[in-house]
Structure 1
């Protein structure tokens, strides 16, 4: 029997805490299911839609899903999907995903697209999204640590007419060929030149050219970021805000990141005066972040930003996922959409032996594993 999903209220927080505890135990990494204050803020946030389902007869909460909408970027995000074991098999999970994504993609200010991540301990969460109109877009290796570091997958669903207005991508480095082919196999046409250029790897263990300070003062970092990175295109990182900063003591650059020390997730969000200013200091900065608790580092880059992609590849970042038509841009009287790519670097050993993925993600997974082997298992330098 299908459940009725309704909008959550503050009175539901205790029931939600019990639900997440019953399903995940102590392994749930997000405060959405563990921190009452964070949950209360989300429920009261006008741009958040939190749906819950009550069990008929008992009234206990047996289902939950959260949707966030950023009208300025035209993006929606689904997270926190959970269904009590007693309610599984009823189609409740798919109903929740379908209902909430339909809501975000419609109305007076519809999102251009909605994305979600899904776990890989089972194919069920992935297939729920795939059957609700979402498409496979890639993987995030060792994304978050719950009981252990776990790989997640990325999916997105677009509003009708958006994908037909993608901006062209003139060229991409050779190491993105596998990602381009994976996109094409997923039904996202991409007419681009794949160059022969393979950026040489910058060796690890080097010392930064500049003395560097790490600033862990979230409010100050957020204000500073708004001041020195005013360009919206350079600040585009949906649903993320920097909480730490790495800065050269001589002022040569400032690198802004969001770091969750509880699960090791780190996103590089922006740099001032620009990414090129970091130069080869990026490798020592990554090692500094690793020492401060980062185990997975990612950054979001427009797919047509060729030089930046080459620099990231040289520092060990690999293309893990793509997001076609992710960012809306105005050109004259018309609106177009720019493709982006997630460049990722894991600081923990990869462990895919328990990976359960739907076939839709196979091309993305295989291209990442092949690049990782070339990067870290190349034996051409063995000498007698």
Structure 2
């Protein structure tokens, strides 16, 4: 029996490699002679750099940049073996995991560090950049990133603005006079983990703002401010990006990179699956196991589990293991997933669930393997 294990991370508890290891441990206790392939995935969010660099080797460096709360953080950046391509993960510089729960407020967080990582890579002489834009604590439309790249933004009185979410409410004009000219010499590809537009009821603010700290009452005004910011900036630059699928990724970073860095956008999971040659590895699989921390209706829109499931051959069973199940998860059965198994064993404090994630996943995987034993080869 050939088993291919293709999980994304369980946010704020286990990275994708740890999840894959837990699933393998559970299955191997029941099917010790099976052929296993562990391929940790990412869809443009956290873990994207690790997944991409694993596909072609290379080196990983840590760079001090401005964090989401304007305090220094050490962010990882990866380079291909020939050092012509750099892999950047937005979450390394301004990820949600970098902001304590009590300080989560997208009005105060910034993506400035992402711009610093871009400049670091360009100054190293790379000709191509791949940037994962998921898992952020920001909803600043990339204004912080753009400020680091040399763009300047002003309020109606001509005062220069800092690059955070609050600045979107105040932007009246901008200047690209000091924009880094080195941006002209690099090809930038966005690896997006969602296909949401920039604004509207399915946009960055309404869909992802609450998990980053925005209250329900703040959402309409924040959404309007985001739209106004891109109307002003788009008029100056001569480009409209707000309706492009994925422009709402990373709190509007998808749109920001397309507008301010002339980036192109691609579904992150498609890029990772290509790099890891997942379809080739799965072609004769008997069982494909996918998963992420929470599976709901949003999972169908460019997330890793559905992308991975599409690589399974028609004869394979596709099983999903997740931390929890949310509204709309039944939609996933239309996307190649045969069954979904949550790992949370009981109503417990969130800290206990997070701390026991490995054991919960291992136990669930073992239970699934026991269920399958006798109905599938060994």
**TM-score (structure 2 length as normaliser):** 0.28
**TM-score (structure 1 length as normaliser):** 0.28
More strand per residue: 1
Q: Which has the higher contact order (CA 8 A, sep 6+)?
A: 2
